[in-house]
Structure 1
Amino acid sequence: MYTKLAKRNMERSLRDYTIYFLTLVFGVCIFYTFNSISSQKIMMKLNEYQLHIFQKIDELMGIVSIFISCILGFLIIYANSYLIKRRKKEFGIYLTLGMESREISNILLIETILIGIFSLGIGLFLGVFLSQGMSIFTAKLFHVKLESFKFTFSSGAFIKTIVYFTVMYIVVFLFNTISITKLELIDLLTDGRKNEKIKVKSLKTSMIIFIISIILIAGAYYIILSNNLRIIFADITIIIPITLVVIGTFLFFFSLSGFLLRLVQNSKRIYLKELNMFLLRQINSRINTTFMSMSFVSLMIFMSICLLAGGFSISKTLNKNIDDLPQYDVTLLYDGKLPINEFLNKNINLNYYAEDYVTYYDYYNKNEDEYLGIKTYIGKEEGEKNKSNVDVAKDRLITIMKLSDFNSIMKFYKKEGITLNKGEYAAFGDIKELLPSIQKAMDKKTKIKVGGQELIPSKKPVMEVTMEGIPAKGNACTFIVRDELAEELVPGLGFLDLNFKGDKAKKEKEFLKEVHTLSESKKNEITLICNTNEQLRASVFGMAGMVSYLVLYMGLIFLIISAAILSLQQLSQSADNIERYKFLKKMGVDDEMLNKTILTQTAIYFMLPLFLALIHSIVGLKVAKVVVNYLGTVNVTGQFLITALIFIIIYGGYFWTTYIGARKMVK
């Protein structure tokens, strides 16, 4: 009998709460897909560095999955509390007929098992097929070709998904059992006829709280924007604006129910039109009792927008940087006094390894009064335009390079060198958005002081040149001066770029081994950091991959959870108000007006948290833009459009499905 009842109840709940079951299926599907990434490498030809990156990504997904499972567990428990509330009258009838609480718990246990099997089965089935498509995305992300398409199945991800969700369902069953034992028969039978108690706040109190919330949110924005967004870079003061935004968001929704209804009541033309009186009281009541969850939903939507739009932009920037990186086999960074090539030739036979190589140094002025920062050089007006760039914000020191070193590098890259007349300087950098500002400073004949001599800019325009083999483009500006001035400068870091000859793979291993041995033996005298082109490319692809998977995984989960919570709340309210809708129909309200009211109510309920989240995102995406600019410069319009499309499909889909479900309930 219990099994028959449980099966009937599940079928009925599946019809009424399709969104709940679909959300569980999506959760299982996404969970499996992102935990099966490591199995996709069998279709790709990867080197040892890329294999290592795959392992790191798999480890990261495992850690993130623990957090995601907690979030999904919260959603399942939260959703079940609404389902239990929806079925109070049903449970009351069971108790009236002589059934004990223990027997109701047994029915719920069977229902939980059936729901678990159903959602796990469908979710895993979809996840296995979705993970096949992820392999194409992964191959494109790592710029590798699929050797041959093979159907892959990750037993590790399969087992992990079953274990995690089984634990969640056990927790749900325990929660349901505790909820049932606390219910009183009289409450179960009369719950549908009870009016929800609304805590009335005075209009004055609500307005004061609302103003405080706006001040807190605006203050958080001001702290971030007025500090040129510098606080996001390893600065603990970032906690202050985050705290202000969170508190401000909660106070915003807490105060909203106190004056939203009063505000509309002042306009009798709007308030008394059609069913607006009923509609506004419904919305006001719902916000009053769910302001906590609406605040969390708004913050999760905000994080989802920033994760998807900002993360995709960062990933695209990192991948774009690969095309602009210098094409050499290995670069070696050197911190020491002797010329780097002389030092290495004393310990390593460079001619054995190198087809050709080039060395160069960064230089600095000896006197502090001759130091020049990038912000100072481009001027106050241009500095304000580029304040989101961390180098400009910190007025980072501009380095100097010898003309002969620069021309040697250009020759190494098979490009033309430059000439400088006496008393002239040239400039180059690799941050594209800063180049126009540097050119304006040069056009104004801005003088610089090097080695005690004043120099004017040459007629050569500022050049876009990438020299350092690092994932992020970090050279805002470097000045080029004639060699004789370098005698008065202080050498900084030294660099060696080298192309191997012969068997490059063999030479690379031998060279790395020799450099490592030399670095260990001379670690108290010098610092040597060596990176090969393959290591660098794998590192960039790895960073891009981690960012892409992380933001897509967390962004989708946050978005789905946010939409599911709003949907379940709205469906629950519709179920609770069936008697009220029946009364309206008895009064002569037609179906068209009822449907319009349900649509408007659902739209307002979905738009309120989204509206505040979008306001937060304006500042959040400015922060993301700083990170993107720090790594490089690309057109990120496409990433914003992709994010918007994802939101329209998922958030809009939940909204429309909720409206259809609520409308069917009322019918």
Structure 2
Amino acid sequence: MLASLSLRNMKRQLSEYKIYWLSLIGVVALMYAFNSLIVSPTMQQLFSLFAESGNSDIGVIATLFSIVIVFALGWFVSYMMDFILQRRSKEISTYMILGVEKSDICKMIFKENTLFGLLALIVGFGFGILVSKILENFVLNLFNFQESLLDLLSIKAVGLTCIEFCIVYIIALIKTDRKVQKVKLIDFLNYSRSNSSVHEHQSRAGLIFLLFSVVMLTLSFYSFAGTKQTVTNITIGAVSAMLGLLCFFRGFVYIIHEIFNKSRKWKYRGSHLVTLRMFLSKSEKMSFSLGVISILFTCTIVCIGMTNAFYQVMEKAVVMQPFDLAIVHVGENGDYSQYSSFLNERIDVSSQYSYCLYTDKSTRFTDTRNHLLTEYWNRAAKAVSVNDYVIAENQHDAFMKYSDYCNLRAMLGLPQISLAEGQYIIHCLPYLKDTFYANENLQIKNSTLAYSGICTEAFSQYGGYGNGQDFVIVVPDHYIENMEVMYSLYVVQSKAVIDMSELENTFPQVRPLNSNVVASGENGYTTKILDNGDYYYTGKLASTPTSQAILIILPLCYLSLVIGIISIVILAVQLLTEVKTIKRQYNVIRTLGNEVFALEKMLRKHIFLYFTQPLVPALVVGSFLLKAMSYTLFVASYDVPIFDNLTTLIAFVILSALLIFALIYFLYVFITSQAMRKEIIPMTLEK
């Protein structure tokens, strides 16, 4: 009998608590998608490549984010089980009055929740496969991979997700079981009484909370207002904003209550009295909870926005380093034939080329760049100097043969550029275009070359050891004859991830060009070349901004969606607890002669006011916080002004975060409103 009763109750829970069940499915889908990407062989290969480049924190970061998610999910499941238990208090007390043993009631509830969770887990895996494919396409498009990253169903990811979910769910089940064992019959009977009581906010302490909130929020906005953001400013602003939001709703309810009492004429017009009465009574009881929920909303908006910001940083790094692999050797032209043979035997190499960069020891263009960068660093308050940024091997103007330039453009699929005898071309990062544009004639030995044009396509020029550091001067081949070789390069384009660990094991002289390891070089500049006899590799996936950004993007996106879903569901559940009270009040209003459409209008107003209350402060504070944090990230990620229009980019980050959060938010608002209308309006019509 209890088994059939458990099955019936589980089906009823699926109907009554759709919002909870759907959210549980969404969280399981996100957990599976994240785990499947992390454990995939290709991503593991990428992470090992990042580790070889000096960024070995992916395991730690993934573990930390997983722990945070497990704790958040555990609290969410425990909260919802407790909520459902309270909603069923009369039903459970009836079982107890009829003589059903507590142990049998516990078994019944345990079976119901187990079936409920098991069904959510199974359906969640189905949606998780879809979400994992979306994440896979994101990574494939970003790095231009041709091969698939994930299997249709990852056994490792399924096992890891089951372990995480079961730990959370079993602990919540045990807590619920203990609660039922300890709670007395009178406590179950008092649950509904305590939930249905309505209190009127009368405390003058609300004014103090409001003043404190205004001070904290003002301090927060002042901290975010400056153009030169520091970690200290952002921390002060974030803490002030959180404290301000926490106290805001206590004071806000007080002010609304005072205005409501003084505006007698407006108060008794239409349905204002009923709507605001219900709104204020609910808000007064939830003032602290609304503050916490608004903080969670703010965190969600910031996490979504910063995910996009980190993506912009990573995308820029991938674009600026168009070659999948680059091996550099300082000094004479290196012999790369053995590496070419090694790669051709193991992967599908699309194209490859080796060449040299040269210098005549002049610094005319270098000095112009250094002056421009010094002004930029001063404006951005960056603690960077010319000696910090410029590497020793790139301290002079870099030159390239026109024939090499044409071959490299062909490798990258760029249109060819003509160069006449006695002319030169500048290829540079976009921030130098206006400075180098229409430059004067170039003097090389006894020859004078005229300026022919300037190109700014992605050409592996950021960070040094590429095609110049920020710029390279392209001249006809014969002008290079008497110049000194700066370093030689071997570049590769491939359709697959290159396993650099195998290359290092085969050739001990090949080492990663680690951005975190530098040594003192010539004329006070730094160098990453620790041994001139060795060969050093870098490339699209090994660049520092790429590895640092991808370490954050996936976990941050994962965390933002989970926190967003949990906080919105908690808010919706708090409103659903008042369904019986609202239903009783609407029945009275219906008895007094109000039409159904008037009741529906009142219900829509009530839902709108309730969901708008924590949303608006979160949107405002989240936008300011996101503006400051994204600006700091964009400026700190690169030592040169890489992004063309920083204001537009920051606006895009903020608006996209608000839009994504709003879509998720209003989806839950719609589900909640439909659930309330279904439970309240039909009952009213029957009366």
Deviation at 1:460, TM superposition (A): 11
Tell me the SS of whatever aligns to 1:36.
helix
Q: State the distance in 2 between where 1:356 and 1:476 align.
A: 16
User: Which region of structure 1 is more displaced relative to structure 2, 192-201 or 393-402?
Assistant: 393-402
Q: State the distance in 2 between where 1:349 and 1:202 align.
A: 82
Deviation at 1:269, TM superposition (A): 4.0
**Residue number in structure 2 paired with 1:624:** 630
Q: Indicate conservation of the 8 Å contact 1:429/1:477, yes or no.
A: yes
Establish whether residue 513 from structure 1 lines up as the match of residue 503 from structure 2: no
Q: State the distance in 2 between where 1:535 and 1:327 align.
A: 6
Q: TM-score, normalised by structure 1?
A: 0.74
Q: State the distance in 2 between where 1:150 and 1:39 align.
A: 9
Map 1:557-576 to 2 at 5 A: 557-576=562-581
Q: State the distance in 1 between where 2:165 and 2:47 align.
A: 35
RMSD of aligned Cα (Å):
5.0
Deviation at 1:262, TM superposition (A): 1.9
**Residue number in structure 1 paired with 2:672:** 658
Deviation at 1:309, TM superposition (A): 2.6
Give the one of 378, 387, 394 matched to 2:382. Answer: 394
Map 1:285-296 to 2 at 5 A: 285-296=281-292
Q: State the distance in 2 between where 1:318 and 1:640 align.
A: 18
Deviation at 1:150, TM superposition (A): 7.8
Map 1:171-186 to 2 at 5 A: 171-186=171-186
Task: Give 1:599's aligned amino acid.
Answer: R
Tell me the SS of whatever aligns to 2:218.
helix
Go from structure 1 to structure 2 and tell me whether the alpha carbon gap of 1:124 and 1:619 turns closer, same or farther (over 3 Å shift): same
Task: Give 1:597's aligned amino acid.
Answer: M
Q: State the distance in 2 between where 1:79 and 1:405 align.
A: 65
Go from structure 1 to structure 2 and tell me whether the alpha carbon gap of 1:402 and 1:73 turns closer, same or farther (over 3 Å shift): closer
Go from structure 1 to structure 2 and tell me whether the alpha carbon gap of 1:302 and 1:435 turns closer, same or farther (over 3 Å shift): farther
Deviation at 1:210, TM superposition (A): 1.1
Give the one of 278, 294, 306 matched to 1:298. Answer: 294
Q: State the distance in 1 between where 2:361 and 2:168 align.
A: 57
Show CA shifts across 1:516-556 (max 9, x none): 5999xx98998626752436557665445444322321121
**Residue number in structure 2 paired with 1:308:** 304
Map 1:8-407 to 2 at 5 A: 8-38=8-38, 41=41, 49=49, 60-146=61-147, 151-189=151-189, 191-192=191-192, 196=197, 198=199, 200-203=201-204, 205-226=205-226, 228-229=228-229, 231-232=230-231, 238-325=234-321, 330=326, 341=331, 355-358=354-357, 377=375, 392-394=380-382, 396-397=384-385, 405-407=396-398
Deviation at 1:108, TM superposition (A): 1.4
Task: Give 2:633's aligned amino acid.
Answer: V
Q: State the distance in 2 between where 1:40 and 1:212 align.
A: 50
Map 1:385-464 to 2 at 5 A: 392-394=380-382, 396-397=384-385, 405-408=396-399, 413=405, 430=429, 432=431
Tell me the SS of whatever aligns to 2:116.
helix
Task: Give 1:104's aligned amino acid.
Answer: I
Q: State the distance in 2 between where 1:361 and 1:198 align.
A: 83
Establish whether residue 600 from structure 1 lines up as the match of residue 575 from structure 2: no
Q: State the distance in 1 between where 2:504 and 2:585 align.
A: 78
Percentage of pairs with the same residue: 20
Establish whether residue 578 from structure 1 lines up as the match of residue 583 from structure 2: yes
Q: State the distance in 1 between where 2:302 and 2:513 align.
A: 45
Q: Indicate conservation of the 8 Å contact 2:47/2:56, yes or no.
A: no
Task: Give 2:380's aligned amino acid.
Answer: V
Q: State the distance in 2 between where 1:201 and 1:372 align.
A: 65
Go from structure 1 to structure 2 and tell me whether the alpha carbon gap of 1:124 and 1:407 turns closer, same or farther (over 3 Å shift): closer
Deviation at 1:660, TM superposition (A): 0.7
Go from structure 1 to structure 2 and tell me whether the alpha carbon gap of 1:75 and 1:350 turns closer, same or farther (over 3 Å shift): closer
Q: State the distance in 2 between where 1:361 and 1:75 align.
A: 66
Q: Indicate conservation of the 8 Å contact 1:142/1:541, yes or no.
A: no
Deviation at 1:162, TM superposition (A): 1.6
Tell me the SS of whatever aligns to 1:513.
coil
Q: Indicate conservation of the 8 Å contact 1:326/1:468, yes or no.
A: no
Map 1:492-503 to 2 at 5 A: 496=487, 498-499=489-490
Aligned residues: 599
User: Which region of structure 1 is more displaced relative to structure 2, 543-552 or 396-405?
Assistant: 396-405
Q: Indicate conservation of the 8 Å contact 2:433/2:454, yes or no.
A: yes
Q: Indicate conservation of the 8 Å contact 2:462/2:469, yes or no.
A: no
Task: Give 1:499's aligned amino acid.
Answer: Y
Task: Give 1:658's aligned amino acid.
Answer: T
Deviation at 1:662, TM superposition (A): 0.9
User: Which region of structure 1 is more displaced relative to structure 2, 120-129 or 16-25?
Assistant: 120-129
Stretches of structure 2 that go unaligned for 5 or more consecutive residues are: 340-352, 407-416, 420-425, 440-449, 474-484, 522-526, 683-687
**Residue number in structure 2 paired with 1:382:** none
Q: State the distance in 2 between where 1:550 and 1:43 align.
A: 14
Q: State the distance in 1 between where 2:80 and 2:378 align.
A: 44
Q: State the distance in 1 between where 2:74 and 2:544 align.
A: 34
Task: Give 1:357's aligned amino acid.
Answer: C
Task: Give 1:611's aligned amino acid.
Answer: V
User: Which region of structure 1 is more displaced relative to structure 2, 354-363 or 185-194?
Assistant: 354-363
Stretches of structure 1 that go unaligned for 5 or more consecutive residues are: 334-339, 366-370, 379-388, 418-426, 444-457, 481-493
Task: Give 2:489's aligned amino acid.
Answer: L
Q: State the distance in 1 between where 2:550 and 2:227 align.
A: 31
